[in-house]
Structures are given as structure tokens and as C-alpha cells.
Amino acid sequence: MHESLEARAQTASYDDVWLVAGVRTPFADYMSVLSGVSPTDLGIYAARALFERSGVSPADVDSVIAGNVAQSSFDAYYLPRHIGLYAGVALGVPALLVHRLCGTGFETILTAADQIALGKAKLALCVGAESMSRNPVAAYSHRSGFRLGQVEFKDFLWEATLDTASNTRMGETAENLRAPLRHPPRGGRPLRGAELPARHGRLGERLLRR
């Protein structure tokens, strides 16, 4: 049963659902130039640029779907709502937050496609926003105070990357999935992830720069 559902999901398709345009901010090193910017503000910046570059009007958006895994600002509960509002989307348009770990960005697009296919929306704004640098040092059990010698804070970024069910870290999963692709092409070295599209000019038009 599970196998058949998985195969069906992998081959699912949509009729008359299109990706109209896309932009993104640059990736920055951990604790570097973007470390002081909240995911909400990153999303607002990208969404505004998307509307400006594409010519699509935010007034035409029927739904906002935002993806965010680690809540790294105090307004994170409202991230999809604030991105939509500050990018010019109408007040009455619903906003939804989705989370599927490393697949969260893809989930925003799939969720929007489902809404369009079901007739709930004609045009959706999909946003993925994350800041590893702003992940907090946290304590979950001290709401009522501290006992003597029992103050415990942990690095959320480190602790949250461990799947306690399988005792596997996210980085290990990525390496396991990448293992079959490690062999270099004949007569050369493996291409880094961004090299192929960058080499063919596919990133420049979508990359936001100050």
C-alpha cells in the first residue's frame, strides 16, 4: 500500500499549472553578511523583487504559501502573513506556513499547485525563507524557573538536525543520498551543485543583488 502511494506521488502531474517567475537572495556564509536579517525580511525582499521583475501584480495573488523550518525570529508565527502583506498582497488573502524539512521549498510549490488544481486559487505566491545563523540557543523546560545547578541551554541548530528516531543527522542523510553521484564524469571532476546552471547562465536572472 505504502509503495503504491509513493509511486503515485512521484508520478503525479498537474494540468494547466505553471511556474510564472522566480527570484532568490544569494546564499551567504554562516554568521556572515545576512546573519542579522530575519527570514521574514528576506522573504519580503525577495517577494517585492519578484513582483517588480515579473510584472505580476501582488493584487492578483489569491494565496500565499511560505516555507520555514527553524523559527528564528520573534515574528516567525506570522512569517507567511507578513511576507504577503509587506509585499503588497491584499489583506484578505489567506497565508499558509508549510514545513517538510529539506523539502520545504518544494512543498510550497506543491501546496500551491494543489490549491490551483482544486480551484481555491488562480495565482499563488510561494516563498521559502530560512536563516541558520539566527537559530536560537534555547531551553524548553525553564518556563517555571531554574533549580540550583540545573540551568540548561542547548544550541537549537545542532540539536534540531538530529533525527532521534533513527539517530541520524541531516548531513548524514544528504551524504547517503549523494553517494551514488560521487563518481566524477569521464576525464574530469564532479561539478559542484551550482556550477551547471551557473555555467549556462540560469542563475543570474533569478539572483538578487544589492
Taking only the tens of pLDDT, the chain with its 210 residues reads 667 887 887 788 899 999 999 999 998 999 999 999 999 999 999 999 999 999 999 999 999 999 999 999 999 999 999 999 999 999 999 999 999 998 999 999 999 999 999 999 999 999 999 999 999 999 998 899 988 888 899 999 999 999 999 999 988 887 888 887 766 655 555 555 555 555 555 556 667 765
pLDDT value at position 4?
82
pLDDT value at position 137?
95
Cβ neighbours for 210, distance < 8 A, ≥ 6 positions apart: none
Which residue ranges form the domains of the chain, and what is each CATH number? 2-134 (3.40.47.10), 137-188 (no CATH)
Look up the pTM and report it: 0.84
pLDDT value at position 161?
92
Query: Which runs of E-coded beta strand occur in 46-165?
Result: 63-67, 95-98, 124-128, 137-138, 154-155, 162-163
CB 99 within 8 A of CB 130: no
pLDDT value at position 189?
59
Strand partners, 138: 154
Strand partners, 126: 65
Distance set, CA 93 to CA 17, 113, 116, 120 (Å): 20, 16, 14, 11
